[in-house]
Amino acid sequence: ASLGTVEDTTERSLNLVLNFRKHVALDFTTADMTHSAKEAFTERFITPPVLALANKVEQIVADEMRKAFYFFSGAAGTAPTTFKEMADVEGFMNDLGIPMGQRSMVWNNTDFSSFASNSNLQNSFNKKINTDINRRMFVGELANMDHFRSPVLATQQAGTGDANATPASGFVASGDVKTLVVSGTAITLQNLANNSTFKEGDVIKIAGVRSVNPLTLQSTGKDMMFTITADATSASGTEAILAITPSIVSSSTSPYRNIDNTT
């Protein structure tokens, strides 16, 4: 028999803050409650506010996720139109160790209509399922993802970045990192044009800094991406401090390492 090595167990905790509360006021009388048919009362007084609350929650989630997601695939401002673009997203998630089960993609109505009208994909979204409220926006499965439509998705209005250089495809130039990025949730950019702007929700890359597969802790060979969490402007000089998420972890011994170098 061989001796086993006991590995340390590391757990992280996150404070749950209930900072969004939405309400829908109801106005009905005791006479309204005397409807002989329970379905009539439910249809008239219960279902409408439930749907209104669901829409408000969906809008909050969509807006918060737009500002929180820090990985990006495709061309900014251009809706996907081919299966390859879906496959690229799936491969991207596989490289990042994202679990394969329960993946979802949410479309706005216009982009989904363009995508689904592709002659090679028209037979991919014709499934018949029940119309329960939580499945009503379901439109099918493709590239190992359940696809949904939502009328509340907003488009990220990106900052101007810096016009002094030629960036990677799909990005605008944004200056140079001033110092080595080792850890933390902020980076300083230099060599920016005056009044270069960065908006909350913008996704940025640092040239030469690769993402790490959290399962193997090996480099994916692809640029790590970060989302800006607060607006910033190089107002009176050529530097700007950007608050970002996720927190940068470069230690080779950390189980939460997410970049392969600090150059």
- What's the whole-number mean pLDDT along residues 87-108? 87
Instruction: Kindly tell me if the per-residue pLDDT of 133 is higher than 50.
Output: no
Give residue 197's pLDDT.
85
E strand residue ranges, the chain: 104-107, 138-142, 145-149, 176-177, 183-190, 197-198, 203-212, 219-228, 232-233, 240-249
Per-residue pLDDT of 201-227, as tens digits, reads 998 888 888 999 988 889 999 889 999
Between 228 and 32, where is the model more confident?
228
CATH class of 156-263: mainly beta
Per-residue pLDDT of 6-51, as tens digits, reads 777 777 788 888 888 888 777 777 776 676 556 677 777 788 888 8
Give residue 36's pLDDT.
56
The domain limits of the chain are 14-68, 83-149, 156-263
CA 84 to chain CA mean position, Å: 20
**C-beta of residue 53 within 8 angstroms of C-beta of residue 46:** no
Which pTM value belongs to this model?
0.74
- What's the whole-number mean pLDDT along residues 117-125? 64
- What's the whole-number mean pLDDT along residues 184-193? 84
Burial (CB count <10 Å: 0-12, 13-18, 19+), residue 75: exposed
Q: Indicate the SS3 state at residue 155.
A: coil
